Amino acid sequence: MNAYIFPGQGAQFSGMGQELYEHSSLAKNMFEEANSILGFDITKTMFEGSAEDLKQTNVTQPAIFIHSVVLAKSMGGRFKPEMVAGHSLGEFSALVANNTLSFEHGLKLVAQRADAMQKACDSTEGTMAAVLGLENEVVESVCKGIEGIVVAANYNCPGQLVISGAIEPIHTACELLKEKGARRALVLPVGGAFHSPLMEPAREQLASAIEQTTFSTPSCPIYQNVTANAVDDTAEIKTNLIAQLTSPVRWTQSVEQMIADGAQHFIEVGPGKVLQGLVRKINRESNTSAAELE
């Protein structure tokens, strides 16, 4: 079975999407439609902007979503997903790929998500840290023992877990995790405590937008970050999508479940190759590749 996977924030690069734009009239039309939906020329920033320009949350998230969805649509008849999943932001791309959301509705939600997350970051100081070389249970146990908000946020692959929370508890956790034998416990250069309780204001803002958006019956199951299970019920998809901002991204568990359910080939759709690397670390036998244009 073919599993299509969609990257999240961090996959952006200068010039992203330009090759797609020049590839076909379909791609060009989708980029122009995106500019119209967002009300600003995001394609100009994607094609010509610096790395710094692309780091702005209100640009980064829509840019990665647009790149991923346009690439999926540009594959034409070869794009036949039997299961999909996306890492954090990538879940929105996956929901367009399996026809749960239209391109327009997906992009509007992503823009609102970026706005909500930026506001939450501005109102509450938080950060994240990557922890390498420890068992998940050890990291979870250390986090639980610290006063203040610090939680497991991204289960990326075995031995690579990102924690999220308030600044001081994160620094405390890093020191304790190093003492426990972590190879590295490194604070990341991010704007906020994503996938933690500190994102509650963003979750509330996004919840109302999701509730007002039309979701259609998906063409294949999506393995959602919150549960790591296959979902094809629209009400359940909405519930999980709303919970996503304050819940951990269970990427390791999602990939393991997809393999258990018959995934043989993982195809990454979007900028970068991060997810292919994570899939191979989760299961060395996995067959991975990048989506290619017709």
What confidence tens digit (pLDDT) does each residue in 139-150 have? 999 999 999 999
Q: What is the pLDDT of residue 55?
A: 85
Encode burial over 22-51: b for 16+ CB neighbours within 10 A, e otherwise: eebeebeebbeebeebbeeebbebbbebee
Q: What is the pLDDT of residue 283?
A: 96
Reported as a single tens digit per residue, the pLDDT across 222-254 is 999 999 999 999 999 999 999 999 999 999 999
Q: Do residues 107 and 221 both lie within one domain?
A: yes
Distance (Å, whole) CA 14 – CA 55: 10
From the list 220, 251, 253, 224, the residue with the least C-alpha distance to 237 is: 224
Task: Identify the band that residue 292 occupies on the pLDDT scale cut at 50, 70 and 90.
Answer: confident
At residue 175's C-alpha, the angle toward residues 55 and 282, to 5°, is 60
Note the pTM of the prediction, 2 decimals.
Answer: 0.95
Q: Which residues share a beta bridge with 187?
A: 129
Q: Do residues 116 and 151 both lie within one domain?
A: no
What mean pLDDT is predicted for residues 38-54? 93
Q: Which residues share a beta bridge with 152?
A: 163
Residue 192 in any domain: the answer is no
Here the tokens at position 151 are 């939680």
Distance (Å, whole) CA 152 – CA 247: 9
Q: What is the pLDDT of residue 218?
A: 97
Mean residue pLDDT of the chain comes to 95
- In the chain, DSSP finds a helix count (H) and a strand count (E) of 13, 10
Q: Which residues are catalytic?
A: 88, 195
3-state secondary structure of 169: helix
Q: Do residues 22 and 68 both lie within one domain?
A: yes
The residue range of the domain holding 255 is: 2-122+197-290
Distance (Å, whole) CA 260 – CA 93: 23
Reported as a single tens digit per residue, the pLDDT across 105-154 is 999 999 999 999 999 988 889 999 999 999 999 999 999 999 999 999 99
Instruction: Identify whether the C-beta of residue 6 lies closer than 8 Å to the C-beta of residue 85.
Output: yes
CB neighbour list of residue 135: distance below 8 Å, 6 or more residues apart: 159
Distance (Å, whole) CA 157 – CA 145: 23
Residue 175 in any domain: the answer is yes
What mean pLDDT is predicted for residues 179-186? 95
Beta-strand relationship, 160-165 and 150-157: antiparallel
Q: Do residues 264 and 146 both lie within one domain?
A: no
Q: Do residues 164 and 112 both lie within one domain?
A: no
Q: Do residues 279 and 234 both lie within one domain?
A: yes
Dihedral, CA atoms, 33, 72, 213, 61, nearest 10 degrees? -70
Reported as a single tens digit per residue, the pLDDT across 208-221 is 999 999 999 999 99
Phi, psi of 93 (to 5 degrees): -60, -45
Using the predicted structure, report yes or no on whether residue 293 has a pLDDT greater than 90.
no
What mean pLDDT is predicted for residues 10-18? 91
Phi, psi of 88 (to 5 degrees): 60, -110
Burial of 121 per CB tally in 10 Å (0-12, 13-18, 19+): buried
Q: What is the pLDDT of residue 131?
A: 97
* pLDDT over 90, % of the chain: 90
Q: Do residues 118 and 133 both lie within one domain?
A: no
Other CB atoms within a 10 A radius of the CB of residue 132 amount to 15
Q: What is the pLDDT of residue 189?
A: 83
Distance (Å, whole) CA 99 – CA 8: 19
Edge-to-edge strand ranges of the sheet holding 127-132: 150-157, 160-165, 127-132, 184-187
Q: Do residues 104 and 48 both lie within one domain?
A: yes
Domain boundary among 137, 155, 187: 187
Distance (Å, whole) CA 209 – CA 58: 16
Reported as a single tens digit per residue, the pLDDT across 52-101 is 888 888 899 999 999 999 999 999 888 999 999 999 999 999 999 999 99
Domain boundary among 156, 187, 218: 187
